[in-house]
Amino acid sequence: MAVAHAGNSPRLVTIHAEGAASHRGIGPVRLEEPRSTVTRALGLGRETESGTQAGETYAGYDYRIGAITLEVGYSNGLVSGVSTHSAHVILFGHPLSDGLEVFRHILHGRRGWRIDECHMRAFTALAPGGPGTGIEWKNGRPKLVMIDAGGVLDDCATL
């Protein structure tokens, strides 16, 4: 069930990075929850894509929480991924806008987290396989946060 949690300010939304798939998400959106639950928490959103592939329906919606846009992907009506490009999200009590150098210290020693760097980009990721949590950093600033059911952001090998 989605429960709105905006951190200390309506501009800040918490990343729920660890635990079972149904515990992972951003703000009130969690993996594997029905679209109707997200709609109750965030409104209708703006459809960005939809269709059917290999017998499965998919859809993408953008939702606003204050200054933050959440991009939510659905597969057969359930959340399959949630992402944001906002630096106004909080992980482990710190906004990503604090930068990669701060998060090096925060993530160091946390089980399963790794940081891969190349081409002025860094990827922080939690555990291989799904569900996955990944953050892409460019020049030490957050570029993309993604939580999905099938893995994490690829590392530098794909750049």
Q: 59: domain CATH number?
A: 3.40.33.10
Q: Identify residue 19 by its one-letter amino acid code.
A: G
Predicted confidence (pLDDT) at residue 49 exceeds the cutoff of 80? yes
Q: Which of 85, 118, 122 has its CA nearest to residue 102?
A: 122
Within a domain: 5 = no
Predicted confidence (pLDDT) at residue 4 exceeds the cutoff of 60? no
Which pTM value belongs to this model?
0.83
What confidence tens digit (pLDDT) does each residue in 64-87 have? Answer: 998 899 999 999 999 999 999 999
Within a domain: 7 = no
- Check residues 81 and 126 and name the one with the higher pLDDT: 81
Range of the domain at 37: 13-158
Within a domain: 8 = no
Within a domain: 17 = yes
Task: Tell me how far CA of residue 49 lies from CA of 26, 45, 89, in angstroms.
Answer: 20, 12, 24
Q: Which of 20-24, 45-49, 64-68 has the highest mean pLDDT?
A: 45-49
Q: Identify residue 47 by its one-letter amino acid code.
A: E
